[in-house]
Amino acid sequence: MSEKPVNLSTTPRLHVAQPLVQGASIALPLPQSHYLAQVMRRQPGDFVRLFDGASGEWAARLVSVGRKAVVAVVESQSAPQEITADLWLCAAPLKRDRFDWVAEKACELGVSRLVPVVTQRTNMGKLNLDRLRAHMVEAAEQCGRTALPLVAEPVSLADLLRNWPAGRALVFADEAGGESLVGGCARAPAPAGVLIGPEGGFSDGERAAIRGVLGAIAVSLGPRILRADTAAAVAVGVWQAVTRG
Judged by CB under 6 A, the stretch of 32-40, 73-81, 161-169, 226-234 that binds ligand SAH is 226-234
| Of the candidate residues 184, 197, 216, 233, the single one contacting ligand SAH (CB under 6 A) | 197
Q: Does 175 bind ligand SAH (CB under 6 A)?
A: yes
Q: Does 228 bind ligand SAH (CB under 6 A)?
A: yes
Q: From CA 92, how far away is CA 160, in angstroms rounded? A: 12
Judged by CB under 6 A, the stretch of 49-57, 98-106, 108-116, 198-206 that binds ligand SAH is 198-206
Strands 169-173 and 216-220: parallel
| Of the candidate residues 201, 217, 233, 238, the single one contacting ligand SAH (CB under 6 A) | 201
Q: Does 203 bind ligand SAH (CB under 6 A)?
A: no
User: By the 8 A CB rule, do 237 and 221 touch?
Assistant: no
Q: From CA 90, how far away is CA 165, in angstroms rounded? A: 13
Q: From CA 44, how far away is CA 62, in angstroms rounded? A: 5
In this structure, how many other beta carbons lie within 10 angstroms of the beta carbon of residue 64?
A: 12
Largest CA distance in the chain: 73
| Of the candidate residues 196, 217, 236, 238, the single one contacting ligand SAH (CB under 6 A) | 196
Binding residues for ligand SAH, per CB under 6 A?
173-175, 196-197, 199-202, 220-222, 224-226, 228, 231
